[in-house]
Amino acid sequence: MKPAVALCVFLAAAPAASAGGLDVQIKEVRGPGAAVTATIELRDLVPDRFKKTLDEGGVLHLRLQAELWESRPVWDRLVYPAIVRILHLRRAPSEGVSITDASGASSTYAPAPKSLPMSLDLGDAKRVTVAERYYVHVIATLGTLAEREADEVGDAVFGRPSESNGLGSLGRLMFRTVLQVSDYLQSVSAEARSRRTAGADILRR
């Protein structure tokens, strides 16, 4: 099979991000202090099809993106740049799960939690106006994102770098570029939007 054809076959077979399993709910949006904070709850944090990855010592990557929007009659306005948090999930003893954030802080849950509450600081409360209405949009994506996995698939399709000819090297470069664009080899996503809330209610102490 030619490398270019093999690449197309692999991409066609690769699981796409889709809803199902993972669920995110927005519980509260408040900003009585210096920052506006969204309280969310993640449910079915590790869907069944990802448990094998953890059991085999793999890592799952959870990407959370949250945005505060001002609701307008025509074009809604993004109040702050989107905030993104990345969490890494690994198997812990006793069928538990260890969750590590970007700072290296880790929490272990045994057994793995059915739901996980979290608080996300969205931005300075001074940007919220009492008279306007706002909502929060959250996207959660859980998946595998491992250099080792990408390299193994690339080797299987195009041969090892030391063995690749010019065409194989080109195919490998294309493959890596596609992975950078799509981020995840396999993933599941969920998103939620809060109800529209008056700025006065968000800022209320």
pLDDT tens-digit map of 121-176: 999 999 999 999 999 999 999 988 654 444 444 443 434 444 444 444 545 444 44
The Cβ of residue 47 has, within 10 Å, a number of other Cβ atoms equal to 14
Give kind and range of the element (H or E) at residue 107.
Answer: strand 106-109
Find the angle CA(49)-CA(182)-CA(157) to the nearest 5 degrees: 80
Give kind and range of the element (H or E) at residue 198.
Answer: strand 197-198
Q: How far apart are CA 178 and CA 172, in angstroms?
A: 10
3-state secondary structure of 151: helix
DSSP-derived letter for residue 73 is S
| 83 has pLDDT over 80 | yes
Q: What is the mean pLDDT of the chain?
A: 77
Q: pTM to 2 decimals?
A: 0.71
Structure tokens at 34: 């210096």
Question: Where does residue 2 fall: left (phi above 0), alpha (psi -120 to 50 degrees), or beta otherwise?
Answer: beta
CATH assignment of 17-145+184-198, among 2.60.40, 1.20.81, 3.40.30, 3.30.750: 2.60.40
